[in-house]
Amino acid sequence: MSETAAPRQEENPLEQGLALRRTPDPCALVIFGASGDLTHKKLMPALYALAVRSLLPPRFAIVGVARTEGDDGTFREDMQAAVRQHARDPFRQEIWDELVEQLHYVSTDFADAGGENAVHDLLGRLDDERQLGGNRVFYLAVPPGAFPTIVEALGRRRDERGWTRLIVEKPFGHDLESARTLTATLLEYFQEEEIFRIDHYLGKETVQNMLALRFANGIFEPIWNRQFIDHVQITVAEAIGIEGRAGYYEQAGAVRDIFQNHLLQLLALTAMEPPIDFTAESVRNEKVKVLRALHTPGPRSVVRGQYGRGFVEGEEVAAYREEEGVAQDSMTETYVAAKLYVDNWRWADTPFYVRMGKRLARRETTIAIQFKRAPHPPFEETAAEGLRPNVLLVHVQPDEGVSLAIGAKVPGQGLTIRTVHMDFLYGGAFRTGMPEAYERLILDTMLGDSTLFTRADEVEEQWLLVDAIVAGWQRDRPAFPNYPAGSWGPPSADDLLHRDGRSWRRH
Ligand code: BG6
């Protein structure tokens, strides 16, 4: 039985963002990779945000595990600095004082039995002291090479009491084969329901809102198909470069870093059929059908790019090949655009144009549903010169919201029609800050809800497509760099749409 912690008096539930949900059972959260970037920038700030909103379990412990030398004291200091720097809420001493008591640290590389024992013993002690009931969340925020050792060690010593859940960070494999091997290793010791594969885009409010928008409103679904929609454009643009992650990025490239996971998940949510309910299995069953229906694009339908020097938001930045740790003749792509088709009744012949890249003009993730033109506008041609087809634009980030482009009469004499926008902005409609994706995802794991996590079959379908695209790339060597930092990508990405008589949405 879980206990319910009363919300702090001063918190207005409406402002909590993640309010009014079940409180998770008592448990220990063990973070492998506790000295890494993700823990500092995302995980600890998310845990602090959950603490501010009284959403953590009533009895709780956080155990950091990493190779870095240290003890509880140094870990606590380090985590406090991370919260001060990266949390979305202002630092509050009284919240921190409560949370800090729950933080522990084990320094080990986990390859030796000594480290394994130390973690095991500490968890046993915390169970006794705080009555955690043997409940565990293990968070694998380590490079994929370290997964098998840790998973095997954890699996061998599973606590028979309580529940165990495993959060696996991306990248989930490097291709289909390695993803299958990883799944097999996990399934040796854990059940699929215990495995929580993170795709943090699914934790974003605006991404979940795609489901609300489509399935909570009666007006969209009847026109959400090939009869009314001309095409869909999905953009995941980043202004940042690779931020010192050359070791990882040189191996991954944009196709594995963003396309394989975030981008394909956005597409699946946009294209899926209505699920019969919102349980994890129903939602994931519908998504996987879309992924299965994706047609492998031919070489002419995929464009890759790599950024050269340029200016981003007024600042001069280096070319990808000049970044530290990147080979001078690197052929790693930092940009991908593609034309994809979902081969089913709803979407046959409706292109989904997708693009994603680093060092583009600005940060922007959008899903644009472009509807067909009105069949017979009864106006003179000149009247409607400023009119574009209707577009439903989902702003995933920043400026989270939804906007609908419609034609309206310009005030004054005569009849002139122009495109205007009906906007819904999160900031205006809900007087609340947006929760970070990791808050939602950590909380859902503790609650045992895997709806917003990817299942093994989804990941495999995603890799199948990526492997086919990458195989097509072996044959040619594009002239990189082919777009300046701060632009919207290589000219060939524009040609991809121009050939179809279309163009990317103007910014
Ligand atoms: C990560 C990628 O998964 O997502 C990064 O590895 C990328 O390269 C990041 O910058 C983008 O996430 P967000 O939430 O900032 O859009």
Mean pLDDT of 347-360: 98
Mean pLDDT of 430-447: 92
With a 6 Å cutoff on the Cβ, whether 238 touches ligand 1 is yes
- Measured between its terminal Cα atoms, the distance across the chain in Å is 52
Q: What DSSP character marks residue 15?
A: G
- Of residues 52, 54, 65, 63, the one with CA closest to residue 27: 63
Cα distance between residue 306 and residue 321, in whole Å? 9
Catalytic residues: 262
Q: Which two tokens stand for residue 364?
A: 């922007």
Compute the mean pLDDT over every residue in the chain, rounded to the nearest whole number. 92
Check whether residue 317 and residue 414 sit in a common domain. Answer: yes
Q: 3-class DSSP state for residue 257?
A: helix
Q: What DSSP character marks residue 354?
A: E
Q: Whose CA is closest to atom 9 on ligand 1?
A: 258
Name the residue with higher pLDDT: 220 or 22: 220
The reply to whether 147 falls in a domain is yes
Q: Whose CA is closest to atom 13 on ligand 1?
A: 201
For 287-338, what is each residue's pLDDT tens digit? Answer: 999 999 999 999 999 999 999 999 998 999 999 999 999 999 999 999 999 9
Check whether residue 55 and residue 126 sit in a common domain. Answer: yes
For 59-100, what is each residue's pLDDT tens digit? Answer: 999 999 999 999 999 999 999 999 999 999 999 999 999 999
Ligand 1 atom nearest to CA at 240: 10
Question: What's the 199 CA to ligand 1 centre distance in angstroms?
Answer: 10
Cα distance between residue 323 and residue 238, in whole Å? 16
Mean pLDDT of 139-147: 90
The reply to whether 211 falls in a domain is yes
With a 6 Å cutoff on the Cβ, whether 169 touches ligand 1 is no
Check whether residue 133 and residue 264 sit in a common domain. Answer: no
Last residue of one domain, picked from the residues 169, 194, 216: 169
Last residue of one domain, picked from the residues 169, 194, 212: 169
Check whether residue 218 and residue 110 sit in a common domain. Answer: no
Q: Give the per-residue pLDDT at 9.
A: 36
Check whether residue 212 and residue 140 sit in a common domain. Answer: no
Check whether residue 217 and residue 333 sit in a common domain. Answer: yes
Question: What's the 179 CA to ligand 1 centre distance in angstroms?
Answer: 20
Ligand 1 atom nearest to CA at 238: 10
Q: How many domains does the chain have?
A: 2
Cα distance between residue 428 and residue 426, in whole Å? 5
Cα distance between residue 136 and residue 147, in whole Å? 17
Element (H, E) at 270: helix 264-271
From 259, 262, 441, give the residue whose CB has the most ligand 1 atoms within 8 Å, as the site to mutate. 262
For 175-232, what is each residue's pLDDT tens digit? Answer: 999 999 999 999 999 999 999 999 999 999 999 999 999 999 999 999 999 999 999 9
Work out the pLDDT band at 486, boundaries 50, 70, 90: very high
Mean pLDDT of 8-29: 63
- Burial level of 414, CB count in 10 A (0-12/13-18/19+)? exposed
Q: Give the per-residue pLDDT at 385.
A: 77
Ramachandran bin of 440, using left for φ above 0, alpha for ψ from -120 to 50, beta for the remaining angles: alpha
The reply to whether 189 falls in a domain is no
Lowest mean pLDDT among 4-8, 111-115, 368-372, 437-441: 4-8
Ligand 1 atom nearest to CA at 236: 16
Question: What's the 349 CA to ligand 1 centre distance in angstroms?
Answer: 31
Question: What's the 263 CA to ligand 1 centre distance in angstroms?
Answer: 11
The reply to whether 276 falls in a domain is yes
Work out the pLDDT band at 507, boundaries 50, 70, 90: low
Q: Which two tokens stand for residue 31?
A: 């973070």
With a 6 Å cutoff on the Cβ, whether 199 touches ligand 1 is no
pLDDT surpasses 70 at 237: yes
From 198, 238, 334, give the residue whose CB has the most ligand 1 atoms within 8 Å, as the site to mutate. 238
Query: Which amino acid would we find at residue 11?
Result: E
The reply to whether 245 falls in a domain is yes
Q: Give the per-residue pLDDT at 10.
A: 38
CATH number assigned to the domain comprising residue 354: 3.30.360.10
With a 6 Å cutoff on the Cβ, whether 458 touches ligand 1 is no
Q: What DSSP character marks residue 131?
A: T
pTM of the full structure: 0.93
pLDDT surpasses 60 at 17: no
The reply to whether 303 falls in a domain is yes
Q: Do residues 305 and 493 touch, judged by C-beta distance below 8 A?
A: yes
CATH number assigned to the domain comprising residue 39: 3.40.50.720
pLDDT surpasses 50 at 249: yes
Question: What's the 492 CA to ligand 1 centre distance in angstroms?
Answer: 24
Q: Crossing angle, helix 93-100 and helix 44-52, to 10 degrees?
A: 110
The reply to whether 235 falls in a domain is yes
Check whether residue 149 and residue 291 sit in a common domain. Answer: no
With a 6 Å cutoff on the Cβ, whether 400 touches ligand 1 is no
Check whether residue 160 and residue 258 sit in a common domain. Answer: no
Residue range(s) defining the domain that contains residue 493? 203-498
Check whether residue 493 and residue 409 sit in a common domain. Answer: yes
Q: Give the per-residue pLDDT at 18.
A: 52
Q: What DSSP character marks residue 410?
A: P
Cα distance between residue 172 and residue 144, in whole Å? 7
Question: What's the 155 CA to ligand 1 centre distance in angstroms?
Answer: 30
Q: Whose CA is closest to atom 8 on ligand 1?
A: 257
For 370-409, what is each residue's pLDDT tens digit? Answer: 999 988 877 777 777 778 899 999 999 998 999 999 999 8
**HEC-encoded secondary structure of 1-12:** CCCCCCCCCCCC
Q: Give the residue ranges of DSSP H helices in 386-455.
A: 426-429, 437-447
Last residue of one domain, picked from the residues 169, 192, 226: 169
Ligand 1 atom nearest to CA at 365: 16
From 257, 266, 358, 397, give the residue whose CB has the most ligand 1 atoms within 8 Å, as the site to mutate. 257
3-state helix, strand, coil in the chain (%, to 5): 40, 20, 40
Question: What's the 249 CA to ligand 1 centre distance in angstroms?
Answer: 12
Check whether residue 242 and residue 332 sit in a common domain. Answer: yes
Name the residue with higher pLDDT: 113 or 37: 37
Q: Give the per-residue pLDDT at 22.
A: 77
Cα distance between residue 160 and residue 89, in whole Å? 38
The reply to whether 326 falls in a domain is yes
Mean pLDDT of 233-261: 96
Check whether residue 448 and residue 360 sit in a common domain. Answer: yes
Work out the pLDDT band at 114, boundaries 50, 70, 90: confident
Ligand 1 atom nearest to CA at 249: 8
CA distances from 226 to 220, 342, 376, 482 (A): 13, 11, 18, 34
Lowest mean pLDDT among 15-19, 35-39, 145-149, 440-444: 15-19
From 200, 336, 395, give the residue whose CB has the most ligand 1 atoms within 8 Å, as the site to mutate. 200
Check whether residue 411 and residue 352 sit in a common domain. Answer: yes
Ligand 1 atom nearest to CA at 204: 14
Question: What's the 78 CA to ligand 1 centre distance in angstroms?
Answer: 23
